[in-house]
Amino acid sequence: MSIDTVTTSTTTNRWLWPTITVVLAFLSVGTLVAAFVLNLGAEPADANPPLPSQSATVTPATPTPSATTPTPTQNVPIAELADPAWVKRIAAAGDIPERAMSAYAGAAIELSRIKPNCGIGWNTLAAIGFVETEHGSLNGATLNPDGTVTPPIIGIPLNGNGADPVPDTDDGQLDGDPTWDHAVGPMQFIPSTWEKTAQDGNRDGKKDINQIDDAVLAAAIHLCEVGGNLTYSENWIAAISAYNPSATYNNRVSDAATYYATLT
């Protein structure tokens, strides 16, 4: 695990990051599925981006977390919670779009308020966003200044060909397919999970699966609900496996999260 400093307008917050160990390599897919069968997200079509080129080889150390209580943020768009200078610096160091970085950091700050015992780090959210959709840029998509992703990123049909079958649950309203569900948006939610976990991260009165603040906040809340205290390795692994039970997927997310954790 590691900690970096995310600064708000009034206080300094430190974020726990998961200790990612080689135990992932020894976990079988069957074990991961048995631990959590909830299907939060699915890998989109042709989504296998290379990991960041300077991937860390050593899991960062674990300092003592800050006990500072964050300022209440329930009416503030999450993209405005982290210090802009910090966002700019970390985004440049990690080759992460600043708009995506502000969502990842802001969601971590918000979770420290509403679920303080979770300990989710921005780097975990960034790792999922990277592996799923390259921070909202997969297949030529654009992450706009308002946080929307255009055109929408829609994954493969979950028809049993390369993925577990998931018959349509939303009459095709989110993914355009009335027969099979697809993963949708920058964080690749399937429609049935989005219905249960959707959030309004940009505080505009809407819950938009294709808007990165909404999607990242929903992912953060759901990971915390599934895994509990994510500062424990086994809980972090279980939460990520709920997003996608593939051991390869877990390893890719852990590698990216570990790399992002070094961007101090």
Read off φ and ψ for residue 44, nearest 5 degrees: -75, 170
Beta bridge partners of 16: 3
How much of the chain exceeds pLDDT 70, in percent? 72
Spatial separation of the C-alpha atoms in residues 124 and 110, rounded to whole Å: 15
Q: What is the biggest distance separating any 2 CA atoms in the chain, rounded to whole angstroms?
A: 50
Q: Are 206 and 3 in contact (CB under 8 A)?
A: no
Q: 40-44, 67-71, 252-256 — which is least confidently predicted?
A: 67-71
In terms of pLDDT, which residue wins out, 48 or 104? 104
Q: Phi and psi for 249 in degrees, rounded to 5?
A: -60, -45
Over the stretch 178-223, which tens digit does the pLDDT of each residue have?
A: 999 999 999 999 999 999 999 999 999 999 999 999 999 999 999 9
Q: Where is 101: in which H helix or E strand?
A: helix 98-114
Q: Is the pTM of this model over 0.85?
A: no
DSSP code per residue over 192-204:
HHHHHH---TT-S
pLDDT (0 to 100) of residue 72: 52
End-to-end CA distance of the chain: 13
